[in-house]
Amino acid sequence: MDLVHMLGFLPRKTSLYRLAFIPKSAQQKTPSGNHLNNERLEYLGDAVLDAIVANHLFMRYPEGDEGFMTKLRARIVKRKNLDYLATKIGIPAFIDRGITTGSKSKHIYGNALEALVGAIYLDRGFGCAKKFFERKILKRHIDLVLVAQKDPDYKSRIIEWTQKNSVEITFESKEEHLSGSKAPSFVSVILLNEEAKGTGRGDSKKEAEQQASKAALKSIHTV
């Protein structure tokens, strides 16, 4: 596989991409004494990747709250997963072949993937980096349904189910004041395509929504 095939576009500054594939364990020394490795690109790519994934999740899950999207993003960009994704798109073939197995860092491929995203950002801008990650990685190698299902968070699971099945979801929550209790309680109802499918109560809005989500999942036989 060549670089253009992996990227899906023609790079302009090829030196950036060569640098992205030079890990610290195989760093090169310039005549001026500086060391060339991908650590700076990795640092930049880490931030760009977070922004790309955050944007994707924000647009895909209009009903997803901050906690849901943060957990999903963390699973996607965790180091072990980046190592796997880097291998799937062929990054190991571009890493310096002179590196011995013993000298390879644990996450050399995932680090190189972040550095590659950083290189794309510097070479072609955020839009191109976003398109690369979404087309070459997210859509081909990440199943967001499975990622969300790993979460015991019932609200996360019901939101993902509605996305997968093109169902409109609405949370209706209100505060209640029960007689004999000074502290308020909350009740939440989940509507799927405008039909009530789950009701939950709790001492907080979050807890009520969790219980409503659990009830809704049971009603559609996914729990």
| pLDDT tens by residue, 121-131 | 999 999 999 99
- Give how far Cα 115 sits from Cα of 54, 102, 160, Å: 18, 22, 30
d(C-alpha 59, C-alpha 36), whole Å: 37
Torsion region of 194: left, alpha or beta (phi above 0 gives left; psi -120 to 50 gives alpha): left
Q: 46 an active-site residue?
A: yes
Q: Single out the catalytic residue among 39, 50, 63, 114.
A: 114
Q: Single out the catalytic residue among 39, 46, 50, 153.
A: 46
What digits encode the pLDDT tens for the residues 33-46?
Answer: 677 899 999 999 99
What digits encode the pLDDT tens for the residues 154-204?
Answer: 888 899 899 889 999 999 999 887 766 666 789 999 999 999 999 999 888
Q: Is the pLDDT of residue 102 over 60?
A: no
Domains of the chain: 3-142 (1.10.1520.10), 154-219 (3.30.160.20)
Q: Which 8-state DSSP code applies to residue 87?
A: H
pLDDT of residue 183: 67
Please indicate, yes or no, whether the overall pTM of this predicted structure exceeds 0.85.
no
Report the amino acid identity of residue 220: I
CB 20 within 8 A of CB 119: yes
